[in-house]
Amino acid sequence: MRKISLILMGALLAPTACFAEIIHLKDGRIVSEKIVERGRYYIVTMDGVMPKKYYDGEIDFIEEDGQRQPKVQSDIDMSKFEGLPEDKVQLIMILIDVSGVRKNMELNIEQVLKGVEEEKKEKFKELFKVSDIIDRIVPIYSNHYTNEELIKIIEFYESAAGQKVVESTPKIMQETVQEAARYFQEKLSLP
């Protein structure tokens, strides 16, 4: 009976080992784990019972079924980021998305456009492109964060607490500006 149990367990576990992908990381590590989730900028693997997340900026390439697969492709024009490593640019772009920076810029530009005359809106849309602004701030992020720090910050923003920050920050900022305006108004009205 014990022998049959062991054979059954082996038969059940063996197929999972056969389907593991080989992930080649840019730091030279090679990981053989099953990919259980593919996000826009990352993959999640299972190592036993613990999931692990790898971001595009960390992955060199993935071998699936013995064949080399390109990592998740991005539409980043690297010619705009001369001198910056592609993996770092990818991580910064991920951070800009998950932290809500891109969305907030888009919302701010929409607000500005509401005050623009209808016939001038198209001209303003051409002048104020979020993608152009982001291209200009990527080097700023690069100057202040390492790849490892970017990964940790991205992980935070993908957590429940990080999502709460993304959701709450615009409201908090709006209320803060209003309160500061009231404060200055009170101070200026003093005799």
pLDDT-derived band at 40, boundaries 50, 70, 90? confident
- Between strands 30-38 and 59-64, the pairing is unpaired
pLDDT tens track for 51-92: 888 888 788 778 776 555 544 445 678 888 999 998 899 999
Q: Are 40 and 52 in contact (CB under 8 A)?
A: no
> Under CATH, what is the fold of the domain 2-70?
SH3 type barrels. (2.30.30)
**Chain centroid to CA 14: how far?**
34
Domain ranges of the chain: 2-70, 78-158
Distance of alpha carbon 59 from alpha carbon 71, whole angstroms: 7
By residue count, the chain amounts to 191
Helices 147-158, 86-98: axis angle to 10 degrees equals 20
Tell whether pTM > 0.75.
no
Burial class, 91, CB count within 10 angstroms (exposed 0-12 / middle 13-18 / buried 19+):
buried
Rg (CA), the chain: 24
pLDDT tens track for 140-190: 999 999 999 999 999 999 889 998 998 898 889 889 999 999 999 999 987
Q: What is the dihedral of CA 171, 175, 180, 183, to 10 degrees?
A: -170
